Amino acid sequence: MSKLIYVLSFLILPFMLLSQDEPVETLETSDVKIARHEVGINVTDFLKRLVSFNELEIDDPNSYLITYKILINHERAIRFGLNANYSKSEQEFVTSSFNGDELKSYNFDFRFGLLMNRRLTNHWSAYLGLDLIYGLAHTESSLSNQFQPVLITEESSELGGGPALGIQYFFNSKISISTELSLYYKYIESQTEQDFDNNGFSDQVVNNKRTLAELATPASLYFNFRF
């Protein structure tokens, strides 16, 4: 974690020095065109690769790859978040009961929320949000044991929401970084199906429903641009 702090300091310090004497234009004080939109990119994975693959453990279950805000005024905003991932592996892997030769998975997450923003200083801002979230996930594993092959399919969907508390630092009127703490309550439905090719084995389907409260610490860093 100390390496991450050093890298962040090295990357952020030049922007902070350049922005010390530059006033940050806000929606209520700017004499130029008022920014009404903000796009954010999650740069956490880039920083992890820059620091270390092994020593840095960062897990944010409520993070999004791309964020977008519609700035209603200097205090209120509507925001969206999108996260998607697809992976496919054909390398052999081994479980306790099966040998596998293919693994395919994808997931999709969407967020819609309302924000209340509070300017703390010329460069610092805090915000409180209330979000609605939805997610889908799908995984397929092609496995085999000494008897016959089996296809294991896992599908899940989640619906929920909750509050988020964030902090944002503005280098100037357009560029900023931000991170946040969130507490989302989720209702999750999942299904696991084992499809055996051999008729001597019965296919198995397991359904599960559960609810959980998931607290995500400020483990994701977003690079934001207003226009």
Mean pLDDT of 31-42: 83
Residue ranges of the domains in the chain? 2-226
User: What count of other Cβ atoms lies within 10 Å of the Cβ of residue 226?
Assistant: 20
Q: Which of 108, 132, 152, 134 is nearest to 189 (CA)?
A: 134
Instruction: Supply the pTM of this predicted model.
Output: 0.78
Is 120 in a helix, a strand, or coil? coil
Residues, the chain: 227
Fold of 2-226: Porin (2.40.160)
Q: Which of 80, 87, 82, 119 is nearest to 106 (CA)?
A: 87
Q: Is 60 exposed, middle or buried (0-12, 13-18, 19+ CB in 10 A)?
A: middle
Cα 215-220-221 angle, rounded to 5 deg? 145
Mean pLDDT of 101-128: 92
What is the tens place of the pLDDT at every residue in 151-203? Answer: 889 999 999 999 999 999 999 999 999 999 999 999 999 999 888 766 556 67
Mean per-residue pLDDT over the chain, rounded: 81
Asked if residues 161 and 129 have their Cβ atoms less than 8 Å apart, the reply is no
- Rounded Cα distance between 51 and 115, Å, is 32
Residue 6 has pLDDT above 50, yes or no: no
pLDDT classification of 120: cutoffs 50, 70, 90: very high
Question: Rg (Cα) of the chain, in Å, rounded?
Answer: 22
pLDDT classification of 222: cutoffs 50, 70, 90: very high
